[in-house]
Amino acid sequence: MSNPSPEFLRFTGHRGFAQRLTLSTLTGRPVHISKIRSSSPTNPGLAPHEVSFLRLLEAVTNGSSMQISYTGTTITYHPGLITGTIPGQGATEGDVIEHNIPPTCTRGITYFLLPLCLLAPFSKAHMNVRFTGAGVITSATEKGDLSIDSFRTAILPVFGLFGIHPARIELRVLQRSCAGPGGRGGGGSVELRFASQVRLPKTLHLNRSPGRVRRIRGVAYSTGVSASNNGRMIHAAREVLNPFVSDIHVAAQYDQAPLVPTGDKAGSKRRLGIGFGLSLVAESSAVGVLYSADVVVPASGGVVPEDIGKQCAYQLLETISKGGCVSPSSASCVLTLMAMGSEDVGRLRIGREVIGTEDMVRLARDLRTFGASSWGLRDVEDDDTGDIIVSVKGTGVGNVGRKMA
């Protein structure tokens, strides 16, 4: 390792923070992010969830270092090797890394899980992480995070298309929790055991027609509120969706509100994170094509479950109408894995409205900055769906750490 330290890659802004750090860790190139919320008078600098994500990166990697400026608006990050959970090293207890999330966190746990599951296939050892603390929100959030059920049923199965077998991935929800008062905090507990490591993901060729939606599965969850909300949400969603698909089955999940320790006295706890929500996943006849929708009641309440059910059904229909073989929530994950694959051109059929969003364009630009080749886009001429075939050439990087270590 005597090569001189490469130049920093410079970025600005807080958007796509986790994505940029993930790409940096995967490719091994250091980054320098500046002007993070520098114009915000109230909360300048890094947000609590971003700081927690940095801690998580530090825990699962070996040799990574980060420097945060005094005001918190600038950060430099030198990535290390992705090690995962090696007993005796790092913050491991037993064979899991315990990660504590602060109570000021406002993003759902999938904000942490998504980048972690992108890093996990390339780690040296199994990636076993348990998220605990007063900030774990397992439900969807109003900021647009997925719930943990749609993550498990709509995002993780897509990994199977890359040769990362989902049978060796386990995502256990030990305690569910919605967002606490004001949208911050929650008392959930989630454990991820990622045991399917690969050298390189397989090249994906998902350029055929997305097929027809064959069945709809989902989870209706109520935490700390009456379990009849589940039935009402499911009934309202079925009213909308039954004319389209006959095979609709939604599981109902009821949990008590979690006990979260309050700060004033040692040992005093209160019940936090009550709410309810609905997560729907539509499976298509083509293999690996899944569309998901997620709606949760706002933290301030005041919405009836029938409205939540109807809204979720309409959101699912909107996602399906956008077309393509990936849904907007899993598109960034799929494209990143394609870019980290072998040096071969993979093709993906994606809807016009899915790729024409700010996040996708930002991902494409970031990948090009990190040294991946640009994407090729061409229209689908066969039908009039308006989909686009994206050709992504992999970088052949895989896990930098495994090559060197």
Partner 1 sequence: MAVLGKRKASEPEAAAVSEEDANEIFRRHFEARFAPIETPQEKRRRAMEDEDEDEDGPCRVDEEEEEEDGNDDSEWGGLSDDEDDEISDDDNDNNDSNDEEDVEVVDHSTSQTPKATTMSKRDLKAFMSSRPPDPTAKSQPDTKPSQTPTTSTLPEDAPSLLAQDLELRRLLSESHLLSSPALSTTATDGTAEPKLFTSGRIRAKATDLRMQALGSQTSIFKQEKMPMKLRKGMVARAEAREERRRREARENGIILERPAAGKKSKARERRREIGVDRPGMGRLRGAELRLNEHDVKKMEGSRDTFGRKGGGKRR
For position 178 contacting partner 1 by CB under 8 A, the verdict is: no
For position 333 contacting partner 1 by CB under 8 A, the verdict is: no
Closest separation in Å from C-beta 260 to partner 1: 23
Number of residues counted as binding partner 1 (CB under 8 A): 34
Closest separation in Å from C-beta 222 to partner 1: 12
Closest separation in Å from C-beta 127 to partner 1: 15
Residue 161 phi/psi, 5° resolution? -70, -20
For partner 1, the binding residue among 98, 142, 170, 307 (CB under 8 A) is 170
- Torsion (CA) 303, 309, 314, 317 in degrees, nearest 10: 150
For position 107 contacting partner 1 by CB under 8 A, the verdict is: no
For position 126 contacting partner 1 by CB under 8 A, the verdict is: no
For partner 1, the binding residue among 13, 231, 261, 298 (CB under 8 A) is 231
- Residues 357 to 376: which contact partner 1 by CB under 8 A? none
Closest separation in Å from C-beta 333 to partner 1: 13
For partner 1, the binding residue among 152, 176, 310, 347 (CB under 8 A) is 152
SS3 letters for the chain? CCCCCCCCEEEECCCCHHHHHHHHHHHCCCEEEECCCCCCCCCCCCCHHHHHHHHHHHHHEECCEEEECCCCCCEEEECCEECCCCCCCCCEECCEEEEEECCCCCCCCHHHHHHHHHHHHHCCCCEEEEEEECEECCCCCCCCCCCHHHHHHHHHHHHHHHCCCHHHEEEEEEECCCCCHHHCCEECEEEEEECCCCCCCCCCEECCCCCCEEEEEEEEEEECCCCHHHHHHHHHHHHHHCCCCCCEEEEEEEECCCEEECCCCCCCEEECCCEEEEEEEEEECCCCCEEEEEEECCCCCCCCHHHHHHHHHHHHHHHHHHCECCCHHHHHHHHHHHHCCCCCEEEEEECHHHHCCHHHHHHHHHHHHCCCCCCEEEECCCCCCCCEEEEEECCCCCCHHHHHC
For position 173 contacting partner 1 by CB under 8 A, the verdict is: yes
What pairs with residue 404 in β-bridges?
Answer: none
For position 212 contacting partner 1 by CB under 8 A, the verdict is: no
For position 171 contacting partner 1 by CB under 8 A, the verdict is: yes
**Stretch of 28-36, 150-158, 372-380, 386-394 lying at the interface with partner 1 (CB under 8 A):** 150-158
**Stretch of 44-52, 89-97, 250-258, 350-358 lying at the interface with partner 1 (CB under 8 A):** 250-258
Between CA 280 and CA 257, with CA 137 as vertex, the angle to 5 degrees is: 95
Closest separation in Å from C-beta 128 to partner 1: 13
**Stretch of 76-84, 153-161, 204-212, 344-352 lying at the interface with partner 1 (CB under 8 A):** 153-161
Nearer to partner 1, 29 or 152 (CB): 152
Asked whether 164 and 121 are in contact (CB, 8 A), the reply is: yes
For partner 1, the binding residue among 165, 205, 368, 403 (CB under 8 A) is 165
Nearer to partner 1, 145 or 149 (CB): 149
Specify the pairing of strand 75-78 against strand 81-82: unpaired
For partner 1, the binding residue among 26, 59, 234, 260 (CB under 8 A) is 234
CA distance 364 to 375: 7
For position 219 contacting partner 1 by CB under 8 A, the verdict is: yes
For position 249 contacting partner 1 by CB under 8 A, the verdict is: yes
For position 156 contacting partner 1 by CB under 8 A, the verdict is: yes
- Residues 272 to 311: which contact partner 1 by CB under 8 A? 283, 287-288, 290
For position 239 contacting partner 1 by CB under 8 A, the verdict is: yes
Nearer to partner 1, 73 or 175 (CB): 175
Nearer to partner 1, 148 or 339 (CB): 148
Contacts to partner 1 by CB under 8 A: 152-153, 156-161, 165-167, 169-173, 217, 219, 230-232, 234-235, 238-239, 249-253, 283, 287-288, 290
